């Protein structure tokens, strides 16, 4: 509509380091992709191991992108300088959605060719007796819901939802880069409220399809929420890592205040508490019920070494970070907080490893693909992420809410 009566004179162009990291990440991605290809050819059971590692890595990086989109939508609903200052940091992650849509193809291929997912295999080739019997006796599971056609149609729906949300949110955000742009605050709110609900439902169904269905005999209704909160946590931690990189350079050095960092620390605390709450609720309810169909999930994950991973998660995904995040000076200091953020991202990986990979092996074991493939996907994802970050100013300067982040000296009146 009308042009603003002021100009923002602070140069909001991202620093050159962003492009450099993008290029380095691509090299990383290519090198590790070659390693993956070699691994698939050399290893005895290469293709199966590849798919297992791929699912793990894909869920990790998808989580950062979707979690960033959800945090952005929370910010659009609540406002607040903490979210405005990292809008473009989160937005760049959200705009990797097209790449993640393409990266989903190997999982669709895995299902279509009868790899990894027991429900996609012919009954006689399912190794786990318990699962085979269950699927044979309850044929409606594979006939009505868990089949390749349904898997692919549902995936198309999830990606349609996520891509549309991402496209609209970033399109409206870009309009605030010029003084002529209109105030999209109302549209953001109108989209974000249903968007958050859609996200919660779509990710619940997606995690049922992609991860929970690895064991079609077992169901948990809180499962989607556990993975959802892991996505939000890893996204907030990733944003903290990126802001730590950016804070050494203008313009982020001018924008990031310690009270914003404090709020990011508080979000991390909130998310690990919610993660513990959801994870413990699932454990308590299944433990109290003690039903054969439900307890199998935990029997597998507390015996044969997997229990150590579970204990490590309780201690290092929750207890120790919780105690650290109680300290206000720690949360305010980006240079300290960043180390916990990196640590918690590793814990999010370990959490997914415990939830997903225990379905593949009765005793604790990690194969090459579960380390190499997540790094390879991460290389390509970070390449796209930092390219996105470099392509737009670091703040939508003419959004009225940016006034909370900018200093009066950053403006000139015209």
Partner 1 sequence: MNGEPIYGMMAEFDSAAALLEATKRTNQAGYRKIDAYSPFPVEGLAEAVGFHHDEVPLVVLIGGIIGGLTGYLMQYWMMAVDYPLNIGGRPPHSWPAFIVITFEMTILFAGISAVFGMLALNGLPMPYHPVFNVPRFAFASKDRFFLVVFSSDKRYDPVETRKFMEGLDPVSVAEVPS
Q: Which of 89, 38, 36, 29 is nearest to 65 (CA)?
A: 89
Q: Judge whether 53 and 40 are in contact, CB under 8 Å.
A: no
CB 349 within 8 A of CB 61: no
Binding residues (CB under 8 A) for partner 1: these are: 280, 283-284, 287-288, 290, 326
Look at the alpha carbons of 261, 351, 166, 222 in this order and tell me if their dihedral is positive or negative.
Answer: negative
Q: Are 387 and 2 in contact (CB under 8 A)?
A: no
Nearer to partner 1, 302 or 342 (CB): 302
Whole-number minimum distance, CB 302 to partner 1, in Å? 12
Q: Is 290 helix (H, G, I), strand (E, B) or coil?
A: coil
To the nearest whole angstrom, how small is the minimum distance from the Cβ of residue 318 to partner 1? 12
- Name the residue with tokens 């309810």: 285
Rounded-to-integer distance, Cα 397 and Cα 8, Å: 7
Nearest partner of 201 among 239, 271, 166, 154, judged by Cα = 154
Between 288 and 414, CB nearer to partner 1: 288
Match 């916990």 to its residue by tokens.
Answer: 340
Min dist. Cβ of residue 324 to partner 1 (A): 14
Rounded to the nearest 10 degrees, the angle between the axes of helix 369-391 and helix 17-42 is 150
- Classify the C-alpha dihedral 37-104-56-295 as positive or negative: negative
Q: How far apart are CA 198 and CA 186, in angstroms?
A: 19
Please state the closest distance from residue 381 (CB atom) to partner 1, in A.
Answer: 37
Inter-helix orientation angle 17-42/223-246, to 10°: 130
Closest to partner 1 by CB, 133 vs 259, is: 259
**Cβ contact 318:312 at 8 Å:** no
Asked if residue 198 lies in contact with residue 228, where contact means CB atoms within 8 angstroms, the answer is no
- CB of 280 or CB of 308, closer to partner 1: 280
Alpha-carbon torsion, ordered 378, 29, 156, 112, to 10 deg:
-110
Count other C-beta atoms under 10 Å from residue 133's C-beta.
Answer: 13
Which residue number, 153 or 326, has a Cβ lying nearer to partner 1?
A: 326
- Nearest in space to 411 (alpha carbons), one of 254, 241, 193, 189: 254
Residue with Cβ nearer partner 1 (40 or 286): 286
Residue 7 or 266: the one with the smaller Cβ distance to partner 1 is 266
Which CB sits closer to partner 1, 102 or 285?
Answer: 285
At its nearest, how many Å lie between partner 1 and the CB of residue 408? 13
* Residue 280 Cβ vs partner 1, minimum distance, rounded to whole Å: 7
Give the shortest CB-393-to-partner 1 separation in angstroms: 27
Q: Least Å distance between CB 81 and partner 1?
A: 12
Smallest distance, partner 1 to C-beta of residue 259, A: 8
Report the residue number, 81 or 195, with the smaller CB distance to partner 1: 81
Q: Cβ closer to partner 1: 283 or 343?
A: 283
- The Cα–Cα gap between 193 and 175 comes to 21
Q: How far is the CB of 66 from partner 1 (least distance, A)?
A: 29
Q: Could you give the CA distance from residue 361 to residue 53 in angstroms, rounded to a whole number? A: 13
């Amino acid at each position: 509509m009308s042009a603003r009566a002021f100009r923002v004179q602070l140069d909001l162009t991202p620093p050159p380091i962003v492009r450099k990291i993008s290029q380095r990440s691509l090299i990383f991605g290519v090198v590790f992709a070659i390693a993956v290809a070699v691994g698939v050819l050399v290893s005895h059971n290469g293709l199966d191991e590849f798919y297992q590692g791929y699912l793990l890595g894909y869920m990790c990086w998808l989580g950062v992108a979707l979690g960033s989109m959800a945090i952005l939508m929370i910010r659009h609903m609540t406002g607040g300088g903490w979210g405005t200052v990292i809008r473009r940091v989160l937005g760049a992650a959200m705009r990797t959605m097209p790449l993640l849509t393409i990266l989903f193809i190997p999982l669709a291929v895995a299902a279509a060719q009868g790899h990894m997912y027991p429900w996609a295999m012919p009954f006689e080739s399912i190794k786990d007796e318990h699962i085979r019997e269950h699927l044979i006796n309850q044929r409606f599971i594979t006939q009505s819901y868990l089949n390749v056609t349904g898997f692919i149609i549902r995936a198309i729906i999830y990606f349609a939802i996520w891509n549309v949300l991402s496209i609209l949110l970033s399109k409206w955000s870009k309009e605030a880069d010029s003084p002529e742009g209109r105030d999209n605050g109302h549209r953001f709110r109108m989209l974000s409220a249903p968007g958050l609900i859609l996200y919660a439902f779509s990710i619940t169904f997606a995690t049922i399809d992609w991860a929970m269905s690895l064991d079609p005999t077992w169901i948990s209704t809180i499962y989607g929420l556990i993975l959802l909160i892991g996505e939000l946590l890893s996204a907030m931690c990733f944003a903290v890592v990126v802001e730590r990189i950016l804070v050494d350079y203008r313009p982020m050095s001018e924008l990031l205040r310690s009270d914003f960092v404090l709020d990011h620390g508080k979000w991390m605390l909130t998310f690990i508490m919610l993660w513990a709450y959801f994870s413990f609720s699932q454990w308590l309810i299944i433990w109290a019920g003690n039903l054969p169909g439900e307890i199998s999930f935990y029997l597998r994950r507390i015996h044969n070494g997997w229990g150590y991973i579970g204990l490590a998660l309780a201690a290092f995904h929750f207890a120790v970070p919780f105690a650290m995040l109680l300290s206000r000076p720690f949360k305010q200091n980006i240079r300290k907080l960043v180390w916990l953020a990196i640590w918690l991202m590793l814990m999010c990986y370990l959490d997914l490893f415990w939830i997903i990979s225990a379905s593949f092996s009765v005793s604790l074991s990690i194969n090459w693909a579960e380390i190499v493939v997540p790094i390879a996907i991460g290389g390509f994802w970070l390449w796209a992420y930092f390219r996105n970050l470099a392509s737009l100013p670091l703040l939508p300067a003419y959004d009225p809410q940016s006034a909370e982040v900018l200093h009066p000296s950053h403006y000139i009146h015209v």
